[in-house]
Chains A and B, each alone.
Chain A
Amino acid sequence: MKNNSLILGGLLSALVVIAALVSFLWVPFDITQLSIPDKLQTPNEVHWLGTDHFGRDILSMIMIGARTSLAVAILAVGIGFFIGVPLGLVAATKKNSLLDETIMRTNDLIFAFPSLVIAILITALFGAGAMNAIIAIGIFNIPVFARVSRGAALSLWQKEFILAARVSGKSDLRISAEHIFPNIANLLIVQGTIQFSLGILAEAGLSYVGLGTQPPVPSWGRMLADAQTMVSFAPHLAIIPGSAIIVTVLGLNLMGDGLRDLLDPRVRRSRE
């Protein structure tokens, strides 16, 4: 049986990534130019996805919005990965020590707050903007990666090849880097794609309430917010950015599922 979810998920995600990359070189219309006479057009042969209330081309805005969404999500997942994974690995080497307890309980503390509310708090305190949104989303990715990597590492530490490495005099840090990390990389890749899609949702949510990317840089969340008052006579203003979010998140989730199946030998065998 072929891995259909990986193929479909990969295609959807690739579509979004390509749109974002192309937007650096070319977009159908310049979105900094307002053209009121063209406002609120439904999709037609000139403006493929129609225009908004300022007469800007929606396709162009979606393409540039993809760039923003991806950038925010990549950086936010990166923060979570590069801080969370080392924390988790260190906690696993010092199981049940004060350090382990401190790391994991701090994680629990962060987990206990609703992430979007805290993100709103952070952006409200330090000002709205893409950078603060990245930091806010990134902070909530740290405990996710820390927990996943600690749990997986703990079971590996019981393996005999780890004991053999310890007998060889390797330090805990070295064992974590050489033996533990490569063996949990699968899990982290899968978790990464899932966090990535959550990051895109969070960015859209923050922009929707006006705390994410600031105008004039377009963002899917703010396009939704702008469309709110006009949804009764121009529904495509809401449907198009909404669909963009759905396609991206669905694509990434499918890809995560597919990757998990591909990388897990037990699932792979049962499919054969």
Chain B
Amino acid sequence: MSILSVENLSLKIGSESILNNISFKLGHGRILAITGESGSGKSMTALSITQLQPKYAKLKGKIFFKDQDITEKDEFELCKIRGAKIGMIFQEPMTALNPVKTVGDQISETIVLHSEKNKKSADTETLNILERVGLSPATEVIKRYPHELSGGQRQRVVIGIAIALKPSIVIADEPTTALDVTTQAQILALLKRLVKEDNISLILITHDLAVVSDMADEIAIMQNGIIVEIDETQNLFRNMKHPYTRSLFAASGHSVDLPSAKRSADLLLTIQNVTCRYRLARTKIFSKSDYFTAVSNVSFDIKNGERVGLVGESGCGKSTLTRAILGLEPIYEGAINVEDQDISKATLNTRKNIQVVFQDPYGSFNPRHKVSTLIKEPFYLIKDALEVKNIESKIDNVLEDVGLSSADKNKYIHEFSGGQRQRIAIARALIIKPKLVIFDEAVSALDVTVRAQILDLIGQLAVEYGLSYLFISHDLAVIRSITDRCLVMKDGKIIEEGLTKKVLEQPQNAYTKTLIEAAPKLPSFQMEL
């Protein structure tokens, strides 16, 4: 018998249909994964199950939890179910926890709220729960505040709150998306163990097929508010009846067809023993300042035509290094040269050789300017900007090169989707024909199918424009598909470097090995496409 059964669920906001006739059943102790791209309605499905959908949304259909229709319950009854019978785990553990309460208080609060227990016995139980989620009492996590914990530890606390009352169902909405790969592997293993121990039914919502394939008993693929395919994991991957499932799978394992580039021996970028450090806030008013070394003694170079990747987890110093290369960050020691000119003293003429594409397609543009104004901004690097001829035709050309139309130049940035914005960002970087482009996590915020398109575009434009690039990413699959050579960075140091294929297949360094093992992989029992 199933513990949760959703029947013909439809949800409308205004006249827009968000969910359309969703039906599925969840069995005892089973893991159901709901996967799809952004806007497919997977989060809204989760919110509907707990009746937390926005107030202005109109819901139709039935949701049975242990033979009771949740949609007919009033707020008071729902509060008894939420937290106690149905636990929730959210994407961002920092915002899911209250920053001014200790994590121990936040767990015991859930226990006191939903059971007859007093504060004292709740505290003892909290200790047990923390131990179950892998936070040993010796670390005294119970007395700490959320900001004193790492991202992985915080997510463990959130999981602790969700399982505190031994709920029948746990809904996890993108529980590992905000975490590094090595942490992600640990959190997924933890979830898997807890679900088994307590016989919990888990609904796992994620955009990442690779994560799902290893965890779920059953997978539902969603597109535009419809479940296009739902089946046992093995069967789903073997059969892939629906074309959308196939395209999603193909995009997840997408590999760019990188033509071999003409390489020369000329050094484009040389980085010699570069160290960057920040001053930390003083602890006492007259005490000496401490420094945090973000990048320590890093050296490498990029030759003309090379496509180099830089891999590392959050906090490894990638962003600081990027800014240093762009000349936006002071260097404490060492030197960064672009074509034998020191970047910190470089003239505009040298700086015009380097451009950048950032991660966030929403924050990279001034919302008050038109596209044409936005992408011609780098012309300030060229002397006598106004006299650069044919600016308009250059704008048209570059827009067409990145797959947009020249009519798009008169629009404002909010009229474009995330993928289109990233194309505009690439257009802005390419318009003055730089020699080196730095892609700083440029595809991390995109859905898999869009990501595959953008990667193809980058590969193709690099050849057309004769580009070298430094592609910074935490995603090994992306690095594998788009670079010839790669560097692995940890704690501000380069710990391994070599040809991409060699580094990823025969890693020498222990950290590189864990990184590769932790990365979720698509199943190999693939059917013939």
Contacts and interface: CB of A to CB of B under 8 A. Distances in A.
Contacts of B366: 161, 165, 179, 182-183
A10 to B, nearest CB: 24
A188 B410 CA distance: 28
Interface size class of B (residues with CB under 8 A): 20 to 34
A71 B348 CA distance: 47
A167 B354 contact: yes
B352 A160 contact: no
Interface in A145-170: 159-161, 163-170
Interface string A122-165: 00000000000000000000000000000000000001110111
A174 B385 CA distance: 14
Contacts of A168: 377-381
B363 A160 contact: yes
Contacts of B348: 169
A92 to B, nearest CB: 16
A166 B322 CA distance: 13
A27 B365 CA distance: 53
* Most interface-central of A168, A170, A182 (chain B CB within 10 A): A168
A166 B351 CA distance: 11
Interface in B355-383: 355-356, 358-360, 363-368, 377-381
Interface in B485-505: none
B328 interface: yes
B326 interface: yes
Contacts of B365: 161, 164
Contact of A167 (B355, B359, B360, B379): B355
A182 B368 contact: yes
A167 B326 contact: yes
Interface residues of A, number: 15
A163 B328 contact: yes
A164 B440 CA distance: 12
A164 B352 CA distance: 12
B368 A183 contact: yes
B428 interface: yes
A164 B351 contact: no
A163 B367 CA distance: 14
A266 to B, nearest CB: 14
A219 B368 CA distance: 42
A170 B327 CA distance: 13
Interface in A172-206: 174, 179, 182-183
Contacts of A160: 358-360, 363-364
Given A169-B352, A179-B366, A183-B366, A164 B360 contact: no
A169 B379 CA distance: 9
Interface of A: 159-161, 163-170, 174, 179, 182-183
Question: Which 6 residue pairs spanning A and B have beta carbons closest together?
Answer: A160-B358, A160-B364, A169-B381, A168-B378, A160-B363, A168-B377
7 contacts: A163-B358, A164-B425, A166-B328, A167-B356, A168-B380, A170-B380, A183-B368
